Amino acid sequence: MLFRGMIKSAVVLTLLAMLSVDGYAAAKKSAIKTEQPKKEDMSSYFSENRQGISPEKLREADSLRVQTVVSIQKLLNDPAMNESRKFELYLRLGEIYAERSEYLRDVEMKEWETTFDKWKSGGKKGAEPTLQTKNSKAELMKSTEAFRRLVREFPKHPRTDAALYALAKTLLLLDNDNAVLYFNQIVQQHKTSPLLPDTYLALGEFYFYKHDMEKAKDNYKEAMNFKESRVYPYSVYKLGWAYYNSKAGNDQETQDNINKSIAAFKLAIKIAERDKESPGNFNLRQEAINDLIMVFAETERIDEAMDYFSRLGEKEAFYDMLEKLGSIYDENGEVAKAIDVYSRLLAESPNRPRNPEIHAKLAKLYDTALQVPAVVDTMKKMRSLYVDPNSKWIAANVANKALLAESAEKTQKNIHRFAASYHQQGQKLKKKPLFDAAAELYRLYLATFPKADEAYELRFYLADIYFYFEQYENSADEYYKVTQERPKDGKYLKDGALQSVVAIRKIDEATTYQKLPPAGQVSQPIALPRVKQKLVTMIDNYAKLLPNEKEGFPMRFTAAMTYFEYGHYQNALTRFDQMANEIPDSPQGQSSIKAILAFHAERKDWDSLVKTGKKYNESAKIMATPVKVEIVKAMKVGTFQLAVQQNKDNKFLEAAKTFESFQQQFPKDELADKALYNASLNYYKVAKVDEALAAGNKILKEYPKSDMAPDVTLDMAQTSESLADFSTAARLYREYGVNYTKEAKAKNALFNAATLYKGLNNNVEALQLYKKFIQLYSKDELAKSARLEIAQLAEKDKNYGEALNYYNQYAALWPERSEGNLVARSRSARVLLIQGNQKDALKEIRKLHKDLTAKNAPAAVEARRVAAGALFNDLEGSFRNFQAVRITDAARIEKEAGEKQAKLVDLVHRYQEIIELGSGEFTVASLFRMGEMHENFAKMLFDAPAPAGQSQAQVDAYRSSIEKVAFPLRDEGNKFFETSFQRSQEVQTFTEWTRKTYEKMVEMHPEKYPVIGEKSTSPTYMSHMMIWDKSVADLAN
């Protein structure tokens, strides 16, 4: 029982050697065997099948081993233990160490696999991971030490052969050639040992891998003598390899060795038939078949192989043989034969799992044979077979997802490889067929793997090929797609975007288009030709993806101009505007600004021109460029012309504001004063007088030398006068009259200024201006009036000498007894009266009275009024004296009444002289005075004192006699009052005398004339002479 366990564990132990890096790598290779068996194959063949055992179970088992080792070591420390028991314990201890080594080697392998796969999937960065076997080898060394102790301490034990075998096998695992010494001891000293077949096989293996095939064959044959032993099948199998690897002195010996090798493999297959369903860790039957495939292939025994494998029921093995044969032909450079074999294989077994690899090899062979079309055709077949989900091959292998993925990847890589290869060759050799093949493969790749990482680069290459062969539209389309796939950071982003434009530009340059109207004169938008539209699309794509690339600036301008030329003005202007704002420093940005401004100006769209100019004017970046001059010019022209247009459209207020805006923006422009003047005129038209005046004032303040200054000054003077702003009007009239003497209207302005200053009681200024007027325009008709005005002002200022001088000058300028002459003389007389020169004054007044009352005398209202007024005022003293006369004593009544009557007659006569002059005001006053005198006379009589000492009867008689005189006097007075009132109504003059006559009527006839509260009037306009004869509006126009 212990012997069998030891043998079993020793054999199992050898599995560890198989699980080396070489062994793992081999497992990753092709299923078609290409090299001889490994050392580990024998151990795998005899070891337990651990497939399906969970890692947890394996860890539990190892934990149990550790505990067992501890227990055994404690037992071995017992000095009383018998030798037989000690032998068994050491044997078990060695086995456990070997089992632990096997387990730890599995763990080490798993760790290495994980690290290796991670390294591989990560792009193989850094050093390739290596298998670390330190822990497993340490356990193996412990196992060796245990077995050595058995051999050394128990040389005569009945089971020493088992100890020798275990030690030899363990040494083999440690690559220690001393293992042969221990195997030979078994052969020589234990000829009946049940381990003898295993020993011979182990020796055969040792010599096989030492390349001593003769000794290897001898030992394999010795092992084969034990046909019931389990080593028999493997010994037969390895004998086949020993013959295959044996050296031969001639061809016949070589052929004999191959025949014996084939025979041994066939026998091994037959012997291993029983293990077909459960082959274990090492499938001897399949390995023998694989090795036989290799031999058949290398010896080109195709028919024999077909016959054998068909009888064996392993037709797939035949196809494996064909694959191997194809590989041999390929390695030997027999391309045509390799193509034939691979083609046969693919035709006879179309659903074989390894066909993707065969197709790949076949394509490579076609390439080697320079059969480019065949390569392309093969790639198409691979695509339809291994990528198309509807293919029969995929349906047949659908269960193997890994295979499907691997096959699609292989197809992808091969299409990529050959496409790139033919492209490079085409560039080097300048051969179109190579470019055509590359383009076709690029298209195939892109249609099949559009989302692959490599698709981006291959599409760019395809576009390059199209461009090289002047297939510009296809080229542009592919370049465009390149830019869309990686629009942010693509390797070919810039080149793709640029080349897409260049390609369409080539077509554009070669295309003849219809003749277009002059730029900017397209009445209706014209649809862009297809090529033009595509060019714009490519340009827009470049600009969007690479907005800061200077190469794109001219393109963007081209796109905008394209739309402009075809009448898509809004689109074009939007594009121009974007360039203006985004790239103002570039020539294209500045040209865009000029284009926009020119467009609006050409169309006389002044509003848009102004708005656009203002917008650009607010941009510091734009105004820092040379185009600033154009912008300012456009703003000037646009603003001024907009105002003109608004004026034409009767939008006077808008025009005024726009003109004003022009001056505010461009105060130093040559049209600034004219703009302000036009603003003022338009403000006048909408009755915005304050704004008009403000504009005028601004002209005079900021542009005193402007050609507009005279007209502005005059307009403002007239306007101010119409607004009763006489102070301002006077100042402006003066400025116009004094500063612009050459102007035709200067003299009238000067005269008006003086007249207004007179009305404002600024006599000093008025006198100066009147005198200035006489100085400048002495012969003008108004110079007469100026003299009269000077005289009046001097009289008012009590400068009587100057007043008389100018009255006399004025009188001398008129014909004798003419109205002007009479007026001046009347005023001179008045001055004389004021001076107290009664004699000369009255003398002159008498002359005036005579002249004014003569036949055909002129109306001379003023003269009559002055003369009448002078006479009236001269009578005021006599009137008051008359009124003051009273009867103081009844005894003196006749004398005193007679004296008063004489005075009444005289005064009435003199008042009558005044009335004869025909002055309405003083006629009313004179009549009223006469009424008052008669009323006073009557009252004096009524109030006369009664005689002293008289009886009542005598007094009554006295009163009655007086009343007979007094009542008629009072009635006469009332008549004068009524006449006075009537005359006041006729002359329609409201004076103090008008009021007095009405009050008297109220008193006399209260039932007829109601009492009216006293009211005063405020004149709304100054009473002065104005010469101007045109309206402000007329002057403004």
pLDDT digits (tens, 9 = 90+) for 662-681: 888 999 888 998 998 999 99
**Residue 318: inside a domain:** yes
The Cα–Cα gap between 676 and 660 comes to 6
Reference 701, options 676, 730, 729, 665; nearest CA is 676
**Residue 714: inside a domain:** no
Contact between 309 and 301 (Cβ < 8 Å): no
pLDDT at 544: 92
Average pLDDT score over residue span 263-286: 71
Average pLDDT score over residue span 610-623: 92
Assess whether 521 and 618 both reside in one domain: no
Please list, in sequence order, all residues whose beta carbon lies within 8 angstroms of the beta carbon of residue 318, skipping any fewer than 6 positions away: 305, 306, 309, 310
Assess whether 181 and 200 both reside in one domain: no
129 pLDDT more than 80: yes
Tokens of 939: 């009252």
**Residue 878: inside a domain:** yes
78 pLDDT more than 50: yes
pLDDT at 8: 32
Structure confidence at residue 1023 as a pLDDT band (50, 70, 90)? very low
**Residue 389: inside a domain:** no
Question: pLDDT (tens digit, 9 = 90+) per residue, 709-743?
Answer: 898 889 889 888 888 889 999 999 998 889 898 88
Burial (CB count <10 Å: 0-12, 13-18, 19+), residue 468: middle
773 pLDDT more than 50: yes
Confidence (pTM)? 0.56
Average pLDDT score over residue span 939-954: 88
Comparing 662 with 29, the larger pLDDT belongs to: 662
Distance of alpha carbon 996 from the chain centroid:
88
Question: pLDDT (tens digit, 9 = 90+) per residue, 539-556?
Answer: 999 999 999 999 999 999
The total domain count for the chain is 5
Question: pLDDT (tens digit, 9 = 90+) per residue, 398-420?
Answer: 999 999 999 999 999 999 999 99
pLDDT at 911: 94
The Cα–Cα gap between 716 and 157 comes to 147
Structure confidence at residue 54 as a pLDDT band (50, 70, 90)? confident
**Residue 883: inside a domain:** yes
279 pLDDT more than 60: no
Assess whether 523 and 572 both reside in one domain: yes
Other beta carbons within 10 angstroms of residue 687's beta carbon come to 11
pLDDT at 1017: 37
Average pLDDT score over residue span 3-14: 33
Assess whether 3 and 136 both reside in one domain: yes
Average pLDDT score over residue span 242-261: 87
pLDDT at 374: 95
pLDDT at 705: 86
pLDDT at 282: 63
Q: DSSP secondary structure string, 155-172?
A: TT-TTHHHHHHHHHHHHH
Structure confidence at residue 34 as a pLDDT band (50, 70, 90)? low
Average pLDDT score over residue span 956-962: 88
The Cα–Cα gap between 721 and 715 comes to 10
pLDDT at 1019: 34
Assess whether 169 and 222 both reside in one domain: no
Which range among 261-270, 372-381, 544-553 shows the weakest confidence by mean pLDDT? 261-270
Structure confidence at residue 1025 as a pLDDT band (50, 70, 90)? very low
211 pLDDT more than 50: yes
Which range among 14-28, 251-265, 558-572, 744-758 shows the weakest confidence by mean pLDDT? 14-28
pLDDT at 15: 28
488 pLDDT more than 50: yes
Which range among 157-166, 223-232, 844-853, 1009-1018 shows the weakest confidence by mean pLDDT? 1009-1018
- Angle at CA of residue 256, ends 251 and 260, nearest 5°: 150
Among positive and negative, which fits the CA dihedral 247, 253, 255, 256?
Answer: negative
pLDDT at 593: 94
Structure confidence at residue 474 as a pLDDT band (50, 70, 90)? very high
pLDDT at 44: 59
Reference 175, options 142, 200, 216, 144; nearest CA is 144
Assess whether 225 and 308 both reside in one domain: yes
pLDDT at 690: 87
Assess whether 566 and 695 both reside in one domain: no
Phi and psi angles of residue 734, each rounded to the nearest 5 degrees, phi first = -65, -45
Assess whether 612 and 543 both reside in one domain: no
Instruction: Tell me the CA distances in angstroms from 943 to 886, 953, 959, 962, one per residue in order.
Output: 9, 18, 10, 10
493 pLDDT more than 60: yes
Please list, in sequence order, all residues whose beta carbon lies within 8 angstroms of the beta carbon of residue 539, skipping any fewer than 6 positions away: 501, 552, 555, 556, 558, 559
pLDDT at 989: 63
Tokens 């009886």 -> residue:
951
The Cα–Cα gap between 865 and 918 comes to 8
Assess whether 205 and 322 both reside in one domain: yes
Question: pLDDT (tens digit, 9 = 90+) per residue, 815-862?
Answer: 988 888 888 888 888 888 888 888 888 888 888 888 888 888 898 888
Q: DSSP secondary structure string, 959-1004?
A: HHHHHHHHHHHHHHHHHHHHHHHHHHHHHT--SHHHHHHHHHHHHH
432-448 vs 453-468: helix crossing angle, rounded to 10: 150
Strand (E) or helix (H) holding 524: none
477 pLDDT more than 90: yes
pLDDT at 649: 93
Question: pLDDT (tens digit, 9 = 90+) per residue, 895-938?
Answer: 888 999 999 999 999 999 999 988 888 999 999 999 999 999 99
Mean pLDDT, the chain, whole residue set: 86
- Angle at CA of residue 994, ends 991 and 996, nearest 5°: 110
Tokens of 408: 């699609």
The proportion of the chain whose per-residue pLDDT surpasses 70, expressed as a percent, equals 90
Task: Give me the CATH number covering residue 236.
Answer: 1.25.40.10
For residue 28, give the DSSP letter. Answer: T
Average pLDDT score over residue span 589-618: 92
Q: Which of 703, 718, 753 is the last residue of a domain?
A: 703
Helix segments in 122-229, DSSP class H = 134-153, 160-173, 179-189, 196-209, 213-224
Contact between 796 and 757 (Cβ < 8 Å): no
pLDDT at 572: 93
pLDDT at 47: 60
The Cα–Cα gap between 617 and 621 comes to 9
Q: In the chain, how long is the greatest CA-to-CA distance?
A: 218
Average pLDDT score over residue span 942-964: 87
Structure confidence at residue 51 as a pLDDT band (50, 70, 90)? low
Reference 764, options 732, 800, 794, 727; nearest CA is 794
Average pLDDT score over residue span 644-650: 92
Reference 225, options 199, 207, 247, 205; nearest CA is 199
**Residue 729: inside a domain:** no
The Cα–Cα gap between 89 and 503 comes to 88
Comparing 319 with 235, the larger pLDDT belongs to: 235
pLDDT at 1024: 33
Assess whether 271 and 179 both reside in one domain: no
pLDDT at 18: 31
The Cα–Cα gap between 935 and 978 comes to 13
The Cα–Cα gap between 561 and 307 comes to 80
Assess whether 171 and 287 both reside in one domain: no
Tokens 């001046």 -> residue:
824
**Residue 795: inside a domain:** no
The boundaries of the domain holding residue 272 are 195-332
Among positive and negative, which fits the CA dihedral 472, 476, 479, 485?
Answer: negative
364 pLDDT more than 90: yes
Phi and psi angles of residue 681, each rounded to the nearest 5 degrees, phi first = -60, -40
21 pLDDT more than 60: no
Assess whether 25 and 112 both reside in one domain: yes
Strand (E) or helix (H) holding 520: none
**Residue 486: inside a domain:** no
Task: Give me the CATH number covering residue 680.
Answer: 1.25.40
